[in-house]
Amino acid sequence: MRTPPRLLALVLLGILWLAPRSQAAAPFVVGAAAVDVTPPLAADAPTNPANCDTTGTYAGPHLFSLEEPYQDVNGNGKYDAGDPTDPSVFGPEPFLDCPTPTADGGLRPPDGRWDGIYLDGGSGTNRIPTAVLDPIWARTIMVGNGVRTISITVVDQEGVFKEIWDLVRQKVRADGGFGLDEMFMSSTHDESAPDTIGIGGPSATVSGVDPFYVEFMIAQVAKSIEDAAQSARPAFIRFGQIHPDDLIPCWSSYPFVADESVGAMQARDASGAVIATLVNYGIHAEELGFSDDDQDRLHLSSDWPHFARTALEATYGGVALTMAGPVGSVEMPKVFDATRSFVPVGTHSEPGNGGCRTIYDTSGTYAPYGYLLSNQARGERIAVWAGHALEAGADSRLNTIDFVRTTLLLDLENVLFQAAGAAGVFTYKKVYVGGVEQPQAPNGSESGNQVETDLGWFTIGDGQFVTTPGELFPFTYEHSFQGPDDLAVPEFGPGHGWILASMNGRWRFIEGLGEDMLGYIFPRSNAVGVPTQDNPSPDDTDRFGCGHSDDGEAANQAAGDILNDALLALLPPVTPSRLQQVQLGRYVWSDGTLHRSPVGDGRLGCDTASNGFTPAPDGGAIGLWVLPPGVTEFRRGVGRIYRLRTSTVGRAQHGLHWMDVRGRPQDGPGTQTRGLLRGRRRRIWVDVFPDTTGLTAVPPRY
């Protein structure tokens, strides 16, 4: 079979990077491991801890081990739970309710329901898998510098509760600790993996969590951390970032903001051998889960990360990880074979699993649905771009290892989540009242109005990662070109703080689905469809005609604001402060006019009154005008104008570069622009949100 050109480019790039390193001392110690967390097939498993049938009368067939015995009364080859809300539906079939051996040697009592493998996410419930397309994994990188040592683990899951991650940490420490000072864990947001949250069960009121699988996963994840620690050797670390030119983002909810770049981190030993490659990209992994039953909806898989990791490991060797970024409402990108334009054309919808509302031009041919078509193409294309990111990147100049991870309480406002908790859906999630943990029945039923969650950051040399315990809407941490009139709920004002502008790493990453799974996360000013005690059945369409179906899966309407406040208090200060400043300003177009956006005007809403867009002339902004602190009026001689291109406004200035959402230089202005770089290190982040008065254009000869 002919090798695809982009995959061939990745292979050649990998050969270049495998050259031996210099004899300089390696600044890090790095280990990596990949441990299979696919539920064992029943045909291959020597024992089944979920089988407590001593009579042999519960002989219903199983694809997987780790499932309780049952009687296949209707002979369809799978367990039927029936519908508890409709007695006319067949079921539930008889089963044996068995106690669960835990990863730490304990025993969970029977929970009153059939425990088996259900797939999480995707469309609908009761997705009992019929086949395994590819394995799912726990993949870990351990990094140390002789002073501190941390691990970074990513598991193929839609999301994992803090309480499960805590059990993994507990097991690693009980097994000896392996010299680790902290362990960070996240999920790929794979919507074709076994349910560990609870919402993928046979119905909306019955949990889909199989505790036998969860305890198996805990042990396997702990093993990946321990194996990584035991494989550690001296290493160099390289970082990179790039914007793909052929992956068109799709959204399911307003506002249409994404971190469109692929970030990468790679560790190599002194001989040049790759130990691990980590890819950070903020998109869903859902295409299979939203397909039809006669396609892949009922197939267990790691989705596109399987193909990305396979390609990276074939090229570089070592262990490849795909870490989710801010995936909130950012669906699966369309995969094109040619360079695309990333200037908005308006808001429109395209066919696509999981939904595809986009602001970019999608004319032309994109890869059609299929596990070995768009899914494979997407994963392999992401791997190619990760290779290009590393090629254009740089070895870490620092060997710092630092971190903070803390626990905080969050009010549980979503009444559907409260009701699901009372029904026993969230088997492993604890709830609180007034900060006091509430009791949980054996079936998982519990009542409370608070949850605990974890938040933090970690630094590896020149790279800094911030965590987010759920599906973060990207603009929550990275801002946008919105003004007060562009907010869905304007009375609640702008989001709190600017996380990416408050970080101090040369390379900046968002660990999506990190440390917990609280559902969707956005500021209060974007909350439209969250069911609360005061409004249990909200209209999820905003004032711009945009649907907010995602909002129904948010634990708290203001989770983004609350987490921003907490994270800003945790982040280390930028020193010296002059190297990074946030200033009120506007982008200057070639005709001298001032605008919030460097690429054009238009809200990009969803109805005819708000979905238009007018591109900026001459390829976008030529500069920007920033004001001093406390000033909101543009006047001659006030503030400073930076000119990055020669125009009627004046000649271009040297040493200036456009800057993207992660603080990295850009060749030109675009939807990812958030300010400018002066020289090699000074960052000016431009806050375009506040309204201003005074001049609306640069005065002549200024």
Q: Are 419 and 517 members of one domain?
A: yes
The residue-averaged pLDDT of 478-492 equals 97
AA identity, residue 144: G
Phi, psi of 122, rounded to the nearest 5 degrees: 65, -160
**Among the three residues 60, 88, 116, which one is the final residue of a domain in this structure?**
116
pLDDT of 5 > 70? The answer is: no
* Residue 522: inside a domain: yes
Q: Are 550 and 585 members of one domain?
A: no
* Residue 412: inside a domain: yes
3-class secondary structure, 88:
coil
**485: which 2 tokens?**
């009139």
Q: Are 515 and 447 members of one domain?
A: yes
Alpha-carbon gap, residue 195 to 213, rounded angstroms? 9
3-class secondary structure, 89:
coil
Alpha-carbon gap, residue 573 to 501, rounded angstroms? 11
Q: Which residues are CB-neighbours of 685 under 8 A, at least 6 positions away?
A: 498, 501, 580, 581, 582, 583, 659, 663, 674, 675
CA 147 to chain centre: 29
The model's pLDDT over 636-668, given as tens digits with 9 standing for 90+, comes to 999 999 999 999 999 999 999 999 999 999 999
Alpha-carbon gap, residue 17 to 408, rounded angstroms? 42
pLDDT of res. 17 = 45
Contact at 8 Å (CB) between 428 and 194? no
CA 642 to chain centre: 34
Concatenating the DSSP letter of every residue in 3-23 gives PPHHHHHHHHHHHHHTSPP-S
pLDDT of res. 84 = 65
Q: Which residues are CB-neighbours of 372 under 8 A, at least 6 positions away?
A: none
* Residue 68: inside a domain: yes
DSSP 92: P
pLDDT of 16 > 50? The answer is: no
Our CA angle for 189, 194, 198, nearest 5°, is 85
Q: Can you state the percent helix, strand and coil of the chain, rounding each to 5?
A: 20, 25, 55
Flag the least confident range among 85-99, 189-203, 493-507: 85-99
The residue-averaged pLDDT of 93-100 equals 97
**Among the three residues 520, 536, 570, which one is the final residue of a domain in this structure?**
570
Average pLDDT, whole number, for the chain? Answer: 94
* Residue 6: inside a domain: no
Q: Are 411 and 507 members of one domain?
A: yes
Contact at 8 Å (CB) between 595 and 452? no
**5: which 2 tokens?**
């050109």
**What is the number of structural domains in the chain?**
3
**43: which 2 tokens?**
């045909």
Question: Which residue is listed with tokens 């596990």?
Answer: 371
Position 508 confidence tier, pLDDT thresholds 50, 70, 90: very high
pLDDT of 355 > 80? The answer is: no
pLDDT of res. 23 = 44
**433: which 2 tokens?**
């009242």
* Residue 375: inside a domain: no
The model's pLDDT over 451-482, given as tens digits with 9 standing for 90+, comes to 999 999 999 999 999 999 999 999 999 999 99
Reference 526, options 555, 501, 561, 502; nearest CA is 561
- Prior bond to 326 cis, omega within 30? no
Percent of the chain scored above 90 by pLDDT? 92
Alpha-carbon gap, residue 40 to 136, rounded angstroms? 11
pLDDT of 12 > 70? The answer is: no
pLDDT of 527 > 50? The answer is: yes
**75: which 2 tokens?**
């002979």
Q: Is 355 left (phi over 0), alpha (psi -120 to 50) or beta?
A: left
Alpha-carbon gap, residue 250 to 214, rounded angstroms? 32
Q: Are 543 and 591 members of one domain?
A: no
**589: which 2 tokens?**
């177009």
* Residue 25: inside a domain: no
Stretch (H or E) spanning 348: strand 348-349
Bridge partners, 581 (sequence order)? 684
Q: Are 563 and 585 members of one domain?
A: no
Bridge partners, 650 (sequence order)? 647
| Domain housing 73 | 40-116
Q: How far is CA 264 from CA 119, 276, 419, in A?
A: 29, 11, 40
Alpha-carbon gap, residue 16 to 11, rounded angstroms? 9
36, burial (CB in 10 Å: exposed 0-12, middle 13-18, buried 19+): middle
Flag the least confident range among 18-27, 270-279, 538-547, 690-699: 18-27
Taking residue 612's Cβ as centre, other Cβ atoms within 10 Å add up to 16
Q: Are 551 and 441 members of one domain?
A: yes
**608: which 2 tokens?**
């005819």
Percent of the chain scored above 70 by pLDDT? 96
Q: Are 529 and 597 members of one domain?
A: no
The model's pLDDT over 287-298, given as tens digits with 9 standing for 90+, comes to 999 999 999 999
Taking residue 439's Cβ as centre, other Cβ atoms within 10 Å add up to 10
* Residue 451: inside a domain: yes
Q: Are 555 and 606 members of one domain?
A: no
Position 7 confidence tier, pLDDT thresholds 50, 70, 90: low
pLDDT of res. 9 = 43
The model's pLDDT over 385-420, given as tens digits with 9 standing for 90+, comes to 999 999 999 999 999 999 999 999 999 999 999 999
Contact at 8 Å (CB) between 591 and 609? no
Alpha-carbon gap, residue 260 to 359, rounded angstroms? 13
Reference 157, options 133, 112, 190; nearest CA is 190
Strands 623-626 and 640-643: antiparallel
The model's pLDDT over 57-91, given as tens digits with 9 standing for 90+, comes to 999 999 999 999 999 999 999 999 987 667 677 77
pLDDT of 20 > 90? The answer is: no
Taking residue 369's Cβ as centre, other Cβ atoms within 10 Å add up to 18
The model's pLDDT over 607-636, given as tens digits with 9 standing for 90+, comes to 999 998 999 999 999 999 999 999 999 999
* Residue 242: inside a domain: no
**Among the three residues 95, 116, 137, which one is the final residue of a domain in this structure?**
116
Reference 308, options 264, 341, 268; nearest CA is 264
pLDDT of res. 6 = 52
Alpha-carbon gap, residue 56 to 264, rounded angstroms? 52
Our CA angle for 453, 455, 456, nearest 5°, is 160
Q: Are 537 and 669 members of one domain?
A: no
Q: Are 501 and 650 members of one domain?
A: no
pLDDT of 201 > 80? The answer is: yes
Stretch (H or E) spanning 569: helix 559-570
The model's pLDDT over 105-128, given as tens digits with 9 standing for 90+, comes to 999 999 999 999 999 999 989 999
Q: How far is CA 523 from CA 424, 468, 475, 497, 688, in A?
A: 29, 13, 9, 11, 17
pLDDT of 18 > 50? The answer is: no
Q: Are 453 and 504 members of one domain?
A: yes
